[in-house]
Structure 1
Amino acid sequence: MLRGVDFDVERGSVFALLGSNGAGKTTVIRILSTLLKADAGTVDVNGFDVAAQPAKVRESFNLTGQFAAVDEILTGRENLVLVAKLRHLKNPGAVADTLLRRFALTDAATRKVATYSGGMRRRLDIAMSLIGNPPVIFLDEPTTGLDPQARVEVWRTVKELAEYGTTVLLTTQYLDEAEELADRIAILHKGRIIVNGTLDELRRLLPPAKVEYVEKQPTLEDVFFAVVGENGKNDENGIADQSDEDRKATPKEKEER
C-alpha cells in the first residue's frame, strides 16, 4: 500500500525510486502507466492527468519491466520492425536500423534473440521502448538478474537516454545503481517516500565525513573487469588489454574516462 508518495521529475533527467523488495516501487510504476488506479491523490505524466486523460498518458511513455519483453524466435531487427509496424510508423526498417546502431546491436541484428546475452536482450528491450520517441520512459528494476558486465552496459544506455532528452524514471533496489545514474533519488520505504533529493543533498543528512587512512584493496568488481575486460575481451594470460593506469582505476573512474 502506498501512502504519502509525492515527487516531481524534471524533464530530461533520471529520477531513481530506490527501495527494498515490497517497498511499493512497482506499484508506483503501475499507477503512472495507467495499469492501476490510485485510490486518492493526483498523478500527471507529461502534463496529462492519469485518471482523466489515460489515453494521452499512454501516448507519452513506454515501459520496460523487470524482465525483457522480447521475442526470442525473431531476430533483433525483426523485433524492432514488428514494434515499429504496430505503432504505424513510416519506414519501420529504417527505424530499426537506427536503433540497432544507437544501441550497438548492428552486428547481432540478424541473429535470433535466443542467442543474445542478458545485457544484449536488455538493450534491445530498451531500444524497443524508444520506438516512437516517447518523452518519458519507465524502467522497472532494469538490471535485476544481470551479470556485472551486462549491468554496466545497461547503465551506459540509461545515461545515453538522458543525453538524448528522454525523461527516465528508474526503480531499483541497488544503492550503487541509483548513485551512478540518478540526478535525483527518492527512497521509498513501506509505501512512503522518506527522503527525496540529489545525492549531495542526501549525503548532507549524515554527519560530516571523517578523514581516516584506509588501505584500499582491489574489489571483486575490479578483479572481474581486469580479467574479462569491459567488453569481455582479454589476452592469452587472462588479463584485459588495458594500460596499467586503467587496471588500477575503479569501474566508476573508467566510466568517467
Structure 2
Amino acid sequence: MHSTPHGAAVTATGYGVQGPRGWAFRDIGFTAQPGSLIAVVGPSGSGRTCLLLALTGRMAATAGTAEVAGLPLPKKKAAVRAVTALAHVPGVTDLEPALTVAEHLRERTLLQRRFAPLPRLPLGGSPSALLRPRRERTAAARARIDAALEAAGLDLDTLPKGDRTAVRDLERPEALRLSIALALIGRPRLLAVDDTDLKLSDAERADVWATLRALAESGTTVLAVCGGVPDGAVVVRTAAPHGADGKSDTTDTRDDGKGAADALAEAGRA
C-alpha cells in the first residue's frame, strides 16, 4: 500500500515511435498503478531511451496510445511534461563536470521557482498575499533540496568536498544519485531514469534499486531503463531494433546517449 496517491498511473497499448531510420520501438503495452516501479529492459538499440522520452511527453509517438496520470499521449504532452521528470539521460540531462554539487542544486531550484505555476489568488485577496519574505523562500528551497537529496540517497557529507565537490570528482553512483535528486526537486509524479544500473557493481546496483524502490513505495512512480530486472517491478520489454522495412537492423544505435539527443531532434522538442 502506498502512503500517498501522488504517483502517476501509466498505461500503453500498441505504443510506438517511427523515425527516418525506422522504428525506435513499437508494440509496447503495459499497465502500471501509481507508485509502481517500472523496469524497461531490452537489447542496446531497442528504443528504451526513446520509450522513456515518449512516456514523459518529450517525444511524440506515431502508433498506439498511452496515458500518464490520466493524460493521453501525445495530445497532452505538455501536461505530461509538467508532472514528470528525467534523470541521468545521456545527451539530455547531462551534468556539467566543472560545476559543483551545490551549484547544480541551486540552479535547479531557481529554474523550478522560475517555471513553477503561479499559486491561485484567494477570492477577494490582494496580490501581495502571494509574495513570501525572502527568508521563507530560502528556507522552503533548502527544505526541498534536503528532501530531494534524502530521497535520492545522496549524503553530501560523504563527498570529498561536501556540496563543493565538482561533478567531475563524483563516482558514477554519486553522479546518478545527484541527477535523481535534481529531478526530484520538482516533485514529479513520475520519475524517469535512464541507464540506471549501467557500469555499477552488484552492491552499487542493489543500493540504487533499493533507493528507487523506496521512492516508489513512498508514492512516486518510477520508470527506469535498466539491464537487470529488480524484484517486484512491472517489466516492459523492448524488442531488437528494426529498420523501416521491419527487418532487424543491428546497426541502429539510437538508444545510446547520442541516439537519445538525435531522437529528440528528429521528433522536435515538444
TM over 0.5: yes
Letter of the structure 1 residue corresponding to residue 149 of structure 2: L
Q: What TM-score comes out, normalization by structure 1 length?
A: 0.65
User: For residues 100-120 of structure 1, what are the alpha-carbon distances to aligned partners after superposition, in whole Å with 9 as ceiling and x for unaligned?
Assistant: 344242313232222211111
Letter of the structure 2 residue corresponding to residue 173 of structure 1: G
Alpha carbons of structure 1 residues 104 and 22: separation in structure 2 relative to 1, 3 Å: closer
Unpaired runs of 5+ in structure 2?
Answer: 1-22, 117-136, 243-270
Alpha carbons of structure 1 residues 98 and 17: separation in structure 2 relative to 1, 3 Å: closer
> Matched residue of 1:41: which SS?
strand
CA distance in 2, matches of 1:97, 1:45: 27
For the pair 1:52 / 2:67, whether they are aligned, the reply is no
- Kept in 1, the 8 Å contact 2:38–2:233? The answer is yes
CA distance in 2, matches of 1:148, 1:70: 24
Letter of the structure 1 residue corresponding to residue 94 of structure 2: A
Q: Which has the higher strand share?
A: 2
CA distance in 2, matches of 1:34, 1:100: 25
Letter of the structure 2 residue corresponding to residue 105 of structure 1: D
Which structure would you say has the larger Rg? 1
How many angstroms does 1:181 deviate by? 4.2
User: For residues 137-192 of structure 1, what are the alpha-carbon distances to aligned partners after superposition, in whole Å with 9 as ceiling and x for unaligned?
Assistant: 11122121234443333222212211221101122233xxx1x3443213322369
Percent identical: 28
Unpaired runs of 5+ in structure 1?
Answer: 193-257
Alpha carbons of structure 1 residues 72 and 96: separation in structure 2 relative to 1, 3 Å: farther
How many angstroms does 1:66 deviate by? 4.2
Give the structure 1 partner of residue 164 of structure 2.
110
For the pair 1:129 / 2:169, whether they are aligned, the reply is no
Give the structure 2 partner of residue 79 of structure 1.
104
Alpha carbons of structure 1 residues 36 and 98: separation in structure 2 relative to 1, 3 Å: closer
> Matched residue of 2:31: which SS?
coil
Question: Alignment partner for residue 212 of structure 2, among 158, 175, 181?
Answer: 158
Q: What TM-score comes out, normalization by structure 2 length?
A: 0.63
Question: Alignment partner for residue 190 of structure 1, among 240, 245, 258?
Answer: 240
CA distance in 2, matches of 1:24, 1:114: 28
CA distance in 2, matches of 1:32, 1:26: 10
